[in-house]
Amino acid sequence: MEPREGRSVYGDWRTAAMGEGGLQRSEFEWLTRPMTPYEMIDDGVALYREHFPLLAKLSFLIYLIPTLVTVLFLVPIAVAEWRSPASSPVAAFLECGSWCFLLPYLMIAPPLQAMATSWAAYRFLQGEPVNSLREVWDAVRPRLGQLIANQLLAFMVLGLIYVVIGVMAGIGAVAGAVAIGSLGLGGTASLIMLMLFYLLGTIVLLLLTALATVWVIILPQIILFEPETDALTAFSRAFTLVGKNFRHAFVSCLLFWAFQGVVYLSAYMFLGLVVLTVAGLLYAYGVDLQALYMRWANTFGNLVDVVSYVVFALVYPAMYLTSFFFYFDLRYRAEGLDIAQVLARSGKG
C-alpha cells in the first residue's frame, strides 16, 4: 500500500493536521486523529494484506492444534460410522469428546492470537521488523498468565450475562407467540406478525449482546500494552476507555460484527455451493441423501469443523487488527495526548 503525497501510509483519508478535535497530534504516523469504525476496518484489512505471510502463518500455527486433533478424531469417527448401518452412538461420543478435549484451548486461542497479532501490528506500524514467530512468542509470553486469568473471568461474566439474555429471549419468544395467537388473526396474518416480532426480537437480542461484549473487546490489548495492569485491573481499564466514548465504541462493535458476518457469510455461501453441487451429483446417481447424512452425520460435522478452523485462520487476523486499531483509537480519544509518550513510560514505546 503506497502512501499518497501528504498522507499517512494507513488511512489515506486521514488528515495530518495538528490539534484536530482539540487533541494533540500523536507521534504515530498511522494515528493522526481519532478514527471511525470504517477506517479501523479498512486499516486492519490493509495491514493484513501487506503483512499476510507472517500474520497468516501465525494464525495457522495457532489453529494447527485444533485442526490436527479434529482430523485425528475424524478417523475413528468415520470408522465407527462406516461399521454402523445407522447413526452410531460411538461416533457421537467421539465427536463430543473431541469438543471437550479442545474446549480449554479454543477458549484461550482467540485472545492469544489477538495479543500476538497486536504486538506484530505495533511493530509493523512503527517501522520495526518482526523476524520470526519465535520473536512474537517471546514478546507475549510474559503476559500470558495474566491473559489466561483475565479471559477466564471474562468468560464467566459474559457466560452469565448471555444466559440471562437467552432466558429473557426465550420468555419473550413464548410470550410473543401466545399474545399473537390470542389476537385471533388469520393464519397468514398471524405468521407475518410472528415473523416481524421475532425480527424485532433478534435486533434487540443483538443490541443487548453487543452492549455486554463491547467492554471486553480490547482486553488482550490492555494486557499486552499496559504492563502495570493485571487480570482484574484490566477490566477497570477497559471500562474507563469504553465508558468515556461509549456510543462510538458501541457503534464500532456493531459494525465490526457486521463486517465479520459478511466475510463469514461469503465464505460459507461458497462452501455451501460446493456442498450443494456434490449433493446434486449424488442425488442424480440415485443416492438417498437423508440416509447418507444420518449415517455419516458426525463425520460430516468433523469435516465442517476442520473447514471452519481454516476459515477462522484466514479471517481472524483482520478482526484482531481491527480491535488493535480500536484500542489505540479509544486511548487517543480518552487521554487526549500523545500516546507514544504514555507507551514509552510504560516500557512499550
DSSP string, 76-92: HHHHHHHH-SS--HHHH
Q: How far apart are CA 6 and CA 16, in angstroms?
A: 8
229, 276 contact by CB (below 8 A): no
Residues in the chain with pLDDT values less than 70: 1-30, 32, 85-87, 186, 336-349
Q: How far apart are CA 116 and CA 136, in angstroms?
A: 6
With residue 5 as reference, give the H or E element that holds it: none
Closest by alpha carbon to 252, among 215, 220, 214, 218? 214
pLDDT of residue 341: 60
Looking at residue 130, the DSSP 8-state letter turns out to be -
Q: Where are the alpha helices (DSSP H) in 217-288?
A: 219-225, 233-244, 246-284
Q: How far apart are CA 180 and CA 194, in angstroms?
A: 7
- Integer distance in angstroms from the first to the last C-alpha of the chain? 25
Angle between helix axes 52-62 and 37-50 (nearest 10 degrees) is 90
91, 75 contact by CB (below 8 A): no
Looking at residue 142, the DSSP 8-state letter turns out to be G
pTM of the model as a whole: 0.81
pLDDT of residue 173: 84
Cα 244 to chain centroid distance, Å, stands at 23
* Extended strands (E) in the chain: none
pLDDT of residue 92: 79
Cβ neighbour number for residue 189 with a 10 Å cutoff: 12
